[in-house]
Amino acid sequence: MQSQKRALITGGAGFLGSHLCDRYLSEGYHVICMDNLLTGSERNIEHLFGNSNFEFIKHDVTNYVYVKGSLDLILHFASPASPIDYLEMPIQTLKVGSLGTHKVLGLAKEKNARFLLASTSEVYGDPEVHPQKENYWGNVNPIGLRGVYDEAKRFAEAMTMAYHRYHGIETRIARIFNTYGSRMRLKDGRALPTFMRQALRGNPLTVFGDGSQSRSFTYVDDLIEGIFRLSQSDISDPVNIGNPEEVSIIDFARKIIEITGSKSEIVYKPLPEDDPKIRQPDISKAKAELGWEPKVKLDDGLRETLKYFKVQVQNTGKDEKTD
């Protein structure tokens, strides 16, 4: 009989990490979730405590990583991931993408495990090519405020490829585009949680700039399916995982007002430095090589996500800052 597969998920108590814990458990894996809880939360994984196939280790992967026993797969998802988080924690963001990735790749080598890196559409920066294909090298300002995240992830990709080429480690790189769904933090500062919170409280929605900048939002279930398929594939070059359905931020704000049935207005705030003007994945590679494409329409995903945010807004009440 084949022994049970064992996966380590770094950042496993975060938004995407915790959904990955659920998915790999349901696929029959033994899952070790590692997180320093800097931006992750035990609330995202508390339903798994008591499951004998699940372990949680509170640890910062920028320090030496030790895991007992064998590992077949490592999903490296540890990192602050919202612009506000990485502006507040620039050094941790750089460290987890660089030192953390190095440590976790070292563990993959030690355990002879397959390694999957959570990379990002931010490697394309403020893109001059549209939509973005994997062979586009990007337009990143290394010393801008967002550079700490973008460059950390670009370094992480370079390190991953070096371990693949030099040490022969089996590696996978997912370039993840904006994703939304349950377990995002209400106050992580990203457009979706902010707009949901503001709309549900009847406060004005804060659109940055004139709102003409675009994003392409992927529902979390679609994203997790893409990651799972990539982890089971033999593709070592980066693969875009995202939804090509592109929307301007102003239309996105209007959509959230409509779906929540809110009477909120829209107010305009200054556009943050280096905020990308356009973003849309070219997913022909994922379609052809993974047989994957997103299935959930933006309206349907938003309605599903609204259920989660209603509870979050109720639970936090009015005691915190009201916007």
Interface residues toward ligand UDP, by CB under 6 A: 82-83, 178, 190-191, 194, 206-208, 213, 215, 249, 272, 275
User: Is the Cβ of residue 155 or residue 268 nearer to ligand UDP in the bound state?
Assistant: 268
Q: C-beta of 95: minimal distance to ligand UDP in Å? A: 20
Per the CB < 8 A criterion, the answer to whether 21 and 227 are in contact is no
- Nearer of residues 267 and 311 to ligand UDP, judged by Cβ: 267
Annotated catalytic residue, options 29, 124, 149, 219: 149
Backbone angles phi, psi at 218, to 5 degrees: -110, 135
CB of 183 to ligand UDP, least distance (A): 15
Structure tokens at 167: 């040490």
Q: Is 149 a catalytic residue?
A: yes
Nearer to ligand UDP, 82 or 119 (CB): 82
Contact 272, 213 (CB under 8 A): no
Nearest distance, CB of residue 247 and ligand UDP, angstroms: 10
Q: Pick the closer one to ligand UDP by CB: 33 or 148.
A: 148
> For residue 68, what are the contacts with CB-CB under 8 A and spacing of at least 6?
none
**Alpha helices, DSSP H, located in the chain:** 15-26, 83-88, 90-95, 101-111, 147-167, 191-200, 220-232, 249-260, 284-290, 298-316
Q: What secondary structure, in 3-state letters, does 190-250 show?
A: CHHHHHHHHHHCCCCEEEECCCCCEEECEEHHHHHHHHHHHHHCCCCCCEEECCCCEEEHH
- Identify which of residues 149 and 228 has a Cβ nearer to ligand UDP in the complex: 149
CB of 208 to ligand UDP, least distance (A): 4
What's the closest the beta carbon of residue 179 comes to ligand UDP, in angstroms? Answer: 10
The Cα–Cα gap between 103 and 163 comes to 11
Q: Mind telling me the catalytic residues?
A: 149
